[in-house]
Chain A
Amino acid sequence: MKALIVLAMLLMAGACGPAMAHAPIKGIGTFYNGLLHPVLVPAHLLVLAAVGLLIGQHAPRVSRLALPAFAAALTVTLALIDASPGALQQWPLLAIALVAGLAVALARAGSLVATALALGAGVAVALDSAPDGAPDEQVWLALSGTGLGAALVVTYVGGFAARLELPWQKTAIRAAGSWIAASALLVLTLDLFPTASPPA
């Protein structure tokens, strides 16, 4: 497990680049801008929803370990980027969304796999959440909001998925996982082959 975490951290660190601007919403303050950040960046929402569904689909077996792991990874990484801000490229987020979405679609995931994906999601989302336009003394406020927002998305999606027990509801969860994986696969390919296809 530790080796997996170190490998994931190294891969993501290698994928870090300059901070790209996510335009802040004026007038709502630094904290709320941070809070809304995971919801307003589609790649973040995709990966958080996938991990939330995965945790909820196999709750409580998986959620006991994966949910605290996600929260810990998110918190630690947000604390680290407060000191050294940067931004992650999109592909690690999409790769995690793809694998987590596939795991949800297949409805098969062990605790170890789900926890590794939750850890990866926490680290990746946090690494890509450096606030733009916030005064230096308020960066921690924005990052606190982002941490809370991301944790809320995973908790709510996971809690909702855990409550769905009828056969057609379980199928709906698997379909949602499939849709997330399909979306991630399309954009991941686009990232890998940015100029291969002519524009419509």
Chain B
Amino acid sequence: MNKVQERGTARHSATTIACAAVSLLLLSALATPAFAHEASGVAGGFVSGFLHPILGWDHVAAMVAVGLWGAFLGAPAIWLLPIVFPLVMAFGGALGIAGVPLPAVETGIAASAVVLGGMVALGARPPLWLAAVIVGAFAVLHGHAHGTELPAAADAVAYAVGFVTGTGLLHLTGITFGLATKWEGGKVAVRAAGGAIAVTGLAFLTGFA
């Protein structure tokens, strides 16, 4: 197999996995609680952790925007993102669990959708370090908000795994959509999505949503 074929196969496989991730995310969002079985213990902890970032629209908007921006920034940002973001977010979560207060967490979360969505809408390509600082700061705020809710979980380990997986799949959704930037029409669609996220964030920030 030559390099062009290998690259084509790799791209095809990546697209297949990304599509599967998006499908899983959509299915989980459509799923309703199974009343026949009590959602407790490990399964209940995982499901509540998995759904937590998905059912909060402010989190969804920001996480998808991070993925979209990563796709705009290209390599290596697009690949560093799913590796570094969960760790920084967990650091923020640890601060929340430890009871370390951070100022204006909810405002910061709403602002994250405005800023990150705005970056996508503008097609901004700052240096990698600057993008990392912006995304990292918001990751800490999102993690802090999630961390304060961790103690209520039925099974803390299962909740944490579900929560991190749900967040990671939201990034993957953004990255997958962001792959459309390879085409001119796709670039317009992705920037429009960024604009929509920024407007949604503005609605959260001003109390309209």
Contact = CB atoms under 8 A, between A and B. Distances in A.
- Grouping DSSP codes into helix (H, G, I), strand (E, B) and loop, the B interface class, with mixed when no group exceeds half, is helix
A33 to B, nearest CB: 15
Contact of B97 (A174, A175, A189): A189
| A interface residue count range (under 10 / 10 to 19 / 20 to 34 / 35 or more) | 35 or more
B13 interface: yes
Interface stretch (B60-68, B149-157, B193-201): B149-157
Interface residues of B, number: 39
Main secondary structure of the interface of A (DSSP, over half): helix
A40 interface: yes
Nearest to B145: A200
B89 A182 contact: yes
B90 to A, nearest CB: 4
A179 B164 contact: yes
Contact of B84 (A178, A185, A199): A178
B93 A189 contact: yes
Nearest to A102: B87
B96 A197 contact: yes
Contacts of B87: 102, 105, 178, 181-182, 185
A200 B168 contact: no
A42 interface: yes
Interface string A157-184: 0000000001111011011011101111
B203 interface: no
B90 A174 contact: no
B165 interface: yes
Nearest to B76: A171
Nearest to A23: B41
Given A171-B83, A183-B161, A197 B10 contact: no
A131 B94 CA distance: 32
Report which residue of A40, A169, A185 has the largest number of chain B beta carbons within 10 angstroms of its beta carbon: A185
Interface in A42-98: 42-43, 46, 90, 94
Contacts of A178: 82-84, 86-87
A122 B33 CA distance: 37
Interface in B146-179: 147-152, 155-158, 160-161, 163-165, 168
A39 to B, nearest CB: 10
B83 A174 contact: yes
Interface of B: 6, 10, 13-14, 17, 42, 45-46, 79, 82-84, 86-87, 89-91, 93-94, 96-99, 147-152, 155-158, 160-161, 163-165, 168
Question: What 7 pairs between A and B have smallest CB-CB spacing?
Answer: A196-B99, A182-B90, A200-B149, A42-B157, A182-B86, A189-B94, A183-B160
Given A172-B17, A200-B149, 13 more contacts: A42-B42, A178-B84, A182-B86, A182-B93, A183-B161, A183-B164, A184-B160, A185-B93, A186-B94, A186-B164, A190-B156, A197-B148, A197-B151
27 contacts: A42-B42, A42-B46, A42-B155, A42-B157, A46-B161, A90-B157, A171-B82, A177-B83, A179-B161, A181-B86, A182-B86, A182-B164, A185-B91, A185-B93, A186-B94, A186-B150, A186-B163, A187-B156, A190-B150, A190-B151, A193-B98, A194-B151, A196-B97, A196-B98, A197-B151, A199-B151, A199-B152
